[in-house]
Amino acid sequence: MKPTFFKLLLYISIFIISCNPSPKNDTEFNPEKLVSYYLVSEKSDNSNILNPRRLFSQGGFLFIIEDYRMPPDLPLIHIFRKDPITYFNSKGKIGFGPLEAQSVEVYNPGLSDSTFVMYSGMDRKYIEYHIFDSSRLGIREFRIPTSETPLGSIYFSPDSTFIGIPTYDENKFVEINLQGKKINGFGKWEHVEGKKEMSYFHHFHLNQGWFKTDDDFKLLVNASIFRDRLEIFDLQTKEIKTIDGPSAELPEFNFYEATMPLDIPISNPFRYRDVYISNKRIYALYGGLNEAHYKETSELAKKIFVFTRQGEPILKFDLDRSVHSIVVDEELNKIYGLTTDEDPGIAVFRMPPGVF
């Protein structure tokens, strides 16, 4: 049986590792050179789904995260069985009290078969929920420490430390301990030609996106929304691989004060829309479409680029409908996505047999 979330806090391991490994094997890739497969989906509708933002999975379940701007009497989390798609349970009581949350954003893997943990950025805490009980409340919660190295995206690791992307630090990835102290930094932001006055926060903003880990917590991947970049951080070797493409060009942007976000024109296409890491591959959902296109067509992303876990491109999938968050089940040979139409639901794409 896997250790519970809070037993992990009792076993703190100390690792002596290199603090600043260099990015390894930086590459550019051209998706036009990849073999392409067209995937046709079936859509599953459910009246409980209102304004879904994220999709996660654990075992035979899917977790759909609703937008935090929900009526307080509705749940933040819907639980569905994968095969077939059926509604199972709801979690996430909205509120400010113990075991309640104002929002939930990130699923934290690897804890228990019967429970799951979500991170609330607004509350700065992790909440553990039981999949099978009837209460929307969590069963335990743990607040992250105040840190001099604040993390914009964050995971609680099996080693009882926090790993994430810092909002204002020289390193791309940072590890902090339970007291909030930075203990390791990995990779450094690259100089942008003609923009040497950029602050660390500006680099964070330019590269921010979808930050995911695999179920075994061996890889972290950041898929940027403003530029065509994937960063793969191997937590075992501490190596970082950067993949640029389809375009190596940066978006146009201006910057002003060091703590202010970049001024990126709204006409800039949004690039990666999500990423999923299986125990065999990396699936990167790609848009390349701007806000005006989305408002006119409701389309955000209809391509998935597939890579090895080492970052080598394999193939691409062209989707028959737009989705904005994905989960892949390689045993079922299916890709699940949240649709972006007026009546959002779950799209199920079946991958061709023997495609890999």
**pLDDT band, very low/low/confident/very high, at 5 (cuts 50, 70, 90):** very low
pLDDT score for 15: 33
pLDDT score for 40: 98
pLDDT score for 28: 87
pLDDT score for 111: 72
CB of 139 closer than 8 Å to CB of 99: yes
pLDDT tens-place string over residues 160-198: 999 999 999 999 999 999 999 999 999 999 999 999 899
AA identity, residue 133: D
pLDDT score for 3: 47
**pLDDT band, very low/low/confident/very high, at 25 (cuts 50, 70, 90):** low
**pLDDT band, very low/low/confident/very high, at 110 (cuts 50, 70, 90):** low
Q: Is the pLDDT of residue 8 over 60?
A: no
Residues of the chain above pLDDT 70, percent: 93
**pLDDT band, very low/low/confident/very high, at 112 (cuts 50, 70, 90):** confident
For 275-329, give the DSSP string.
Answer: EEE-SSEEEEEEEEE-HHHHHHH-----EEEEEETTS-EEEEEEESS-EEEEEEE
Q: Is the pLDDT of residue 2 over 70?
A: no
Q: Among 16-20, 76-80, 114-118, which is the least confidently predicted range?
A: 16-20
Q: 103 phi and psi, to 5 degrees?
A: -160, 160
pLDDT score for 109: 80
Mean residue pLDDT across the chain: 92
Q: Is the pLDDT of residue 53 over 70?
A: yes
Q: Among 19-33, 286-300, 314-328, which is the least confidently predicted range?
A: 19-33
Q: Is the pLDDT of residue 10 over 50?
A: no
Which of helix, strand or coil describes residue 213? strand
In whole angstroms, give the CA distance from residue 331 to residue 25.
30
Q: What is the pTM of this model?
A: 0.92
The DSSP letter of residue 236 is T
Q: In angstroms, how far apart are the furthest CA atoms of the chain?
A: 57
What is the average pLDDT across 47-57?
A: 97
In whole angstroms, give the CA distance from residue 352 to residue 143.
43
**pLDDT band, very low/low/confident/very high, at 322 (cuts 50, 70, 90):** very high
pLDDT score for 104: 96
pLDDT score for 27: 86
**pLDDT band, very low/low/confident/very high, at 326 (cuts 50, 70, 90):** very high
